[in-house]
Amino acid sequence: MGARLAQDLLLNFLLILTPIFFYQAFMLDRLTDRTTSHRTQWVLGLFFGLASVLCMIYPIQAGEGFLWDLRWIPLLMATLYGGWRSGLVVAGIVLLCRLWVGVGVGLSFWLSVGVAVIVLGVSLWLRRWYLFVGRRYRMLVGMMLALATYLLTLTSIIYYFSHKGQLAYLIGHGGAFFVVYALLYVLAMTCSVLLFENILENVRIREEVRKSEKLGIISELAASIAHEVRNPLTVVRGFIQLAVTTLDETNRKYMRTAITELDRAEFIISDYLNFAKPELNHFEVVNASDEVRNVVTIMCSYANMQSVQLEGAVEDSLYIWVDRVKFKQVLMNLIKNAIEAIYNSGRVEVTVKRRAEDVIIQITDTGEGMTPEQLERLGQPFYSTKEKGTGLGLMVTFRILEAMNGSLHFASTVGKGTEARIVIPLSNLS
């Protein structure tokens, strides 16, 4: 009996981990920290749904008439890492399989529906916060969710046996197994989160290496040719200005247009130089709270011109080690982008708060939003959602924050708006 129980426990445990390996093998190139692609979310749901079905087909036999399984662990994983689409697929597969292996629609089925709805709802509610915390917190949340799901499942089982008048039979035959079952739930969830996080970390490292190679090439090209291009542009602009005084009004108009375009070329080259070698020579301890308030005040007039309401909610006395001028440049660039993303009246909110040892600056707008494909391309050279944008401003912003040991993340929904999140370590010198 003990050998059979251990075999069933190990089999269910391995079935939980199997879809993660399959997903890594077949979908690694599309695997991201938030699995933004809709297709990726559906596929993730199918993989974890298959794991739930296998757990139900090969259950844990703990005594005569007692069949247990880990069907809800894949639902937790699919929802936390894939979103509502993945979670809905797994929940639907579990309930359909429950009808197939069960005895039809009865009390036990409706109890399973209740558990599925609660687990799916709570996981979705926690997901937005879950995606932005560190690995340690994710593992802790995963363990707590697994334990809560186990208790919910156990409650539904107790209710079912109580309704049948067999509660004493349940306690007498399954009581010793409850502790082992709880430990298995927590262990399976912990290993699943740890394995998935390791896969995500490998993907992030690979993407960083790939991105570094691309940026290295761009930096070398920018540093080698930008100065050489800027010098003849300056000469041409000077001679055009001299020539304007000797031309009639029609030709002056043409020359002014030429000067405008030369200035635009100069601006692009300056961005390239800033990207190739950000001049961060004046690092100091800066009160991020005061700097954000000042920038919000400065940008309010521009927001009013665009019929946009700009608001700030700032936690006091948060100090960071940055270049003050470049930090302001980053804030103004992101706030300006947020304002310009709103075509009609709307709102931009800037919040600053502390999270553990980091300062989190969020810039949220109610603009048009972006698709997952657009989000993935943000920061690439010459990619911009603006009609006349070059994308270099945002590329420089990424580079400046990287030089200040910070990071920039975007989240967006089409039709609802975009959130830019800056993460910068707190200063140890404050």
Equal CATH topology for 211-276 and 284-425 = no
Whole-number pLDDT of residue 148: 92
Which CA distances in Å does 383 have to 84, 358, 392, 396, 430?
Answer: 30, 30, 8, 13, 38
pLDDT tens-digit series, residues 120-165: 999 999 888 887 777 888 889 989 999 999 999 888 888 887 887 7
Lowest mean pLDDT among 27-36, 173-182, 227-236, 246-255: 27-36
Between β-strands 308-314 and 319-323, what pairing exists: parallel, antiparallel or unpaired?
unpaired
DSSP code at position 315: -
Distance of CA 151 to the CA centre of its chain: 30
Whole-number pLDDT of residue 1: 46
Q: Across residues 366-382, what is the average pLDDT? A: 76
Query: Rounded to an integer, what distance in angstroms lies between the CA atom of residue 268 and that of residue 260?
Result: 13
Buried/exposed code over 208-238 (b: 16+ C-beta within 10 A; e: otherwise): eeeeeeebeebbeebeeebeeebeeeeeebe
Whole-number pLDDT of residue 274: 61
Q: Across residues 258-280, what is the average pLDDT? A: 68
pLDDT tens-digit series, residues 396-415: 788 788 888 888 888 888 88
Tell me if the domain spanning 284-425 has CATH number 3.40.50.1370.
no
Determine the number of helices (DSSP H) and then strands (DSSP E) in the chain: 12, 9
Whole-number pLDDT of residue 340: 87
- 117 phi and psi angles, rounded to 5 deg: -65, -45
pLDDT tens-digit series, residues 185-237: 888 888 888 888 888 887 777 777 776 666 666 666 666 666 667 677 777 77
Distance of CA 295 to the CA centre of its chain: 26
**Which of the pair, 82 or 167, is modelled with greater confidence?**
82
Whole-number pLDDT of residue 376: 75
* Residue 68 reports pLDDT greater than 60: yes
As given in the structure block, the two tokens for residue 268 are 């692009």
Neighbours of 66 (CB within 10 A): 15
Whole-number pLDDT of residue 33: 47
Percent of the chain with pLDDT over 90: 14
Cα–Cα nearest to 381, from 369, 393, 371, 365 = 393
CA-CA-CA-CA torsion for 10, 13, 19, 25, nearest 10 degrees? -60
Whole-number pLDDT of residue 380: 65
Partners of residue 309 on adjacent β-strands: 347
Determine the residue type at 185.
Answer: Y
The full length of the chain comes to 430
Whole-number pLDDT of residue 305: 86
As given in the structure block, the two tokens for residue 324 are 């003050």
Neighbours of 146 (CB within 10 A): 25
Query: Rounded to an integer, what distance in angstroms lies between the CA atom of residue 237 and that of residue 340?
Result: 30
pLDDT tens-digit series, residues 301-360: 888 888 899 988 888 888 998 888 888 888 988 998 899 888 878 899 999 998 878 899
DSSP code at position 410: E
CATH topology of domain 211-276: Helix Hairpins (1.10.287)
* Residue 365 reports pLDDT greater than 60: yes
Distance of CA 221 to the CA centre of its chain: 32
DSSP H or E run through 86: helix 84-101
Whole-number pLDDT of residue 362: 93
Q: What is the residue extent of each domain of the chain?
A: 2-209, 211-276, 284-425
* Residue 290 reports pLDDT greater than 70: yes
Whole-number pLDDT of residue 62: 63
Could you tell me the pLDDT band of residue 35, with boundaries at 50, 70 and 90? very low
Nearest 5°: the CA angle 155, 156, 160 is: 115
Q: Please give the full DSSP string across 112-170, using - where no structure is assigned.
A: HHHHHHHHHHHHHHHHHHHTTS-HHHHHHHHHHHHHHHHHHHHHHHHHHHHHTT-HHHH
* Residue 34 reports pLDDT greater than 50: no
Could you tell me the pLDDT band of residue 272, with boundaries at 50, 70 and 90? low
- Asked whether 397 and 333 are in contact (CB, 8 A), the reply is yes
**Which of the pair, 395 or 292, is modelled with greater confidence?**
292
Percent of the chain with pLDDT over 70: 79
Could you tell me the pLDDT band of residue 265, with boundaries at 50, 70 and 90? confident
* Residue 382 reports pLDDT greater than 60: no
DSSP code at position 29: G
* Residue 256 reports pLDDT greater than 50: yes
Mean of per-residue pLDDT scores for the chain: 79
